[in-house]
Amino acid sequence: MTVGVKTISDTATEFDGFIPINEQLTLAPRSTKVVSVEIVNNNLLEPDEDFFIILYDLKDEQPLFGENTKTRVTIFDDDKPTTIQFSKPFLQVKKSERVVRLKVMRRGNSEKIVECKIKSEEVEDIDKQAREF
């Protein structure tokens, strides 16, 4: 049996969210095939987006009847911003310790390279700043 398989845009659009397909698929009795749709990684911060993959009759181009002849695909945005933060908002040390060690953590799900610079600054009256905060 030969059927058509194609993508249909929803909130994800062709060439921006995915590369569209419109193909013929021939299936022998009790066989399985894999359909591949390329997802576009545009490195933009976007909401999650959807598109559909449907099976259709090649003669009249109508969707096939039955279960699981239409599948919604959700593209989860993995370009969420990465944050760099200290492990603690406040740290007390004794002068005798001579060195302050504070963990810097990366949070978020982006795999992009992130760089940051860290510098120390002298605070003239930390108690006054804390009281004003």
86 pLDDT above the threshold of 70: yes
Is the pTM above the cut of 0.75? no
Q: Say if residue 11 is in the same domain as residue 37.
A: yes
Instruction: State the distance between the two ends of the chain, measured CA to CA, in whole angstroms.
Output: 72
Q: Say if residue 70 is in the same domain as residue 92.
A: no
Q: Say if residue 21 is in the same domain as residue 42.
A: yes
Q: pLDDT tier at 76 (50, 70, 90 boundaries)?
A: confident
DSSP-derived 3-state class of residue 129: helix
- pLDDT at position 13 is 94
Triad 91, 93, 125: Cα angle to 5°: 75
Q: What single-letter amino acid sits at 56? A: Y
* pLDDT tens-digit map of 59-72: 999 999 989 999 99
Q: Say if residue 69 is in the same domain as residue 37.
A: yes
Q: Which domain holds residue 87?
A: 83-120
C-beta separation of 64 from 25 below 8 A: no
Q: Say if residue 68 is in the same domain as residue 103.
A: no
Q: Is residue 126 part of a domain?
A: no
Which strands form 2-9's sheet, in the order they lie side by side? 22-26, 2-9, 49-56, 70-75
Q: Is residue 132 part of a domain?
A: no
Q: Is residue 63 part of a domain?
A: yes
Triad 86, 88, 94: Cα angle to 5°: 110
Instruction: Give the number of domains in the chain.
Output: 2
Q: Between 11 and 113, name the one with better pLDDT.
A: 11
Q: Say if residue 27 is in the same domain as residue 55.
A: yes
Q: Say if residue 10 is in the same domain as residue 29.
A: yes
* Cα 69 → chain centroid: 26
C-beta separation of 15 from 40 below 8 A: yes
Q: Is residue 15 part of a domain?
A: yes
C-beta separation of 120 from 99 below 8 A: no
